Amino acid sequence: MTAPRPASPGDTLDRVETPALVVDLDALEANIAAMASRAKAGGMALRPHAKTHKSAEIAKLQLAAGAIGICAQKVSEAEALLGSGVKDVLISNHILGEAKLDRLCGIAKHVRVTTLTSDAAHVAMLSQAAARNGAEIEILIEIDAGDARMGLQNLNQVGPLAQAIDKAPGLRFRGLQAYTGPFQHIRDPEERADAALASAEIALEARDAILALGLSCETITGGGTGSFDYDLSEQAFTEIQPGSYVFMDMDYGRNEDGPSEVFRQSLFVLASVIRVPEKRVVYVDAGVKSLNLDSGMPGVHERTDLAFTKASDEQGRVEIATKGQAPKLGERLLLVPSHCDPTVNQFDWMVAVRNGRVEHVWPVDARGCVI
């Protein structure tokens, strides 16, 4: 069941039903423009990761600003975002299972689709699915660029795997995926820069192994919101795939000299004060089911005198500093998520606001698309 719309265009914030996912349109649009400008100036294509916002409307804004396509993380997520009009989708994951592969091929019949692999057995599965469906799938080899996740760690295997993809019916070898998620959150800027450089060197080593076999490597994609400046300067990638820059969150705000210096906080959870039991504590109607807490507690926007300290399923505890001003019963607070991506996935609707008034109420199109 989809939840009722929490607001209507023209409403002021005090009329929005809470808890609600709220986006500041001025900040969102500024963030989209800033990243598009940085990528263009750096001579690099921009492929934003849509797993952050899960919204066809936001994908439209990114494409209109110059993005060459989008990333999605799941087949169902890609399907849900086709309404954006996107023509080039990278499903930056390893897709297995006959049903999923058939649906992947279904998308590939309408738009350009690329996905990832790291071993020959998976290449055979992808090729069989493409042949079965009369489709062509473009393939990137995912390499481990330093974060010890899904990528191929032995670079001696990159060349033979690229050859296997190149020979496989229904597949087209496109290049490399070299994303390093944990590196996006390295706090110290020098350490973050060093990590980006090391990742770039690994990607270039893998590229050279492919070129030595006479194959082309047209795409090296990766990078992210935390490392985008370094990724642009290293010039190893042909495209970057940041996601969180559209919204930002508390965790990215902890990076020293990080993306919060460039991008504005645009995503909030609007909550109402529902109990004022004592002078130094209030409770709000947003808890674990509204706020993903894997990266800590949320902040309270523009209220340094308030600290969100504890959450139950449906409520949150907010403590007030000694000289702080206690919120009143029914007062609205804008909470800054600690981790934007999974927070978005908690909501069916996104309330887009400009100057304190609702301009749009957008569906979170790919909410719950985990298949």
In tens, the pLDDT along 254-266 reads 999 989 999 999 9
Q: How confident is the model at residue 278 (pLDDT cuts 50, 70, 90)?
A: confident
* Whether the predicted pLDDT of 137 surpasses 90: yes
Q: Mark out the alpha helices in the chain (DSSP H runs).
A: 25-41, 56-64, 75-80, 98-108, 120-133, 158-167, 189-211, 228-234, 250-253, 340-344
Instruction: Return all residues near 191 (Cβ < 8 A) that are at least 6 apart.
Output: none
pLDDT beyond 90 at 279: no
Contact between 75 and 116 (Cβ < 8 Å): no
Whether residue 284 is predicted with pLDDT greater than 90 in this model: the reply is yes
- What band does 286 get if pLDDT is binned at 50, 70 and 90? very high
| C-beta separation of 243 from 92 below 8 A | no
Phi/psi of residue 352, nearest 5 degrees = -95, 120
Say what the pLDDT of residue 172 is: 98
Q: Report pLDDT digits (tens) over 141-182.
A: 999 998 888 899 999 999 999 999 999 999 999 999 999 989
Q: List all residues 6 or more positions away from 256 whose beta carbon is below 8 Å from its beta carbon.
A: 187, 188, 189
CA 136 → CA 28, 125, 170, 180, 212, distances in Å? 35, 13, 5, 28, 25
What is the residue-wise DSSP string for 149-178? Answer: SSSB--GGGHHHHHHHHHHSTTEEEEEEEE
Band (pLDDT 50/70/90 cuts) for residue 282 is very high
Cα–Cα dist 215/157, whole Å: 14
Q: Map out the domains of the chain with their CATH numbers.
A: 13-22+262-363 (2.40.37.20), 25-248 (3.20.20.10)
Q: For the ranges 3-17, 107-121, 141-155, which has the lowest average pLDDT?
A: 141-155
Q: Are strands 137-142 and 171-178 parallel, antiparallel or unpaired?
A: parallel
202-225 per-position pLDDT tens digit:
999 999 999 999 999 999 999 999
Please report, as a single letter, which amino acid is at residue 324. Answer: G
- pLDDT given at position 193: 93
DSSP 345: T
All residues at 6 or more sequence positions from 181 whose CB lies less than 8 Å from its CB, including other chains? 147, 149, 224
Q: Look at residue 1 in the predicted model and tell me its pLDDT.
A: 79
- Tens digit of pLDDT for each residue in 14-60? 999 999 999 999 999 999 999 999 999 999 999 999 999 999 999 99
Instruction: List the one residue out of 3, 15, 57, 67 whose CA is nearest residue 36.
Output: 67
Q: Report yes or no: 49 and 241 within 8 Å, Cβ to Cβ.
A: yes
The answer to whether 60 touches 370, Cβ cutoff 8 Å, is no
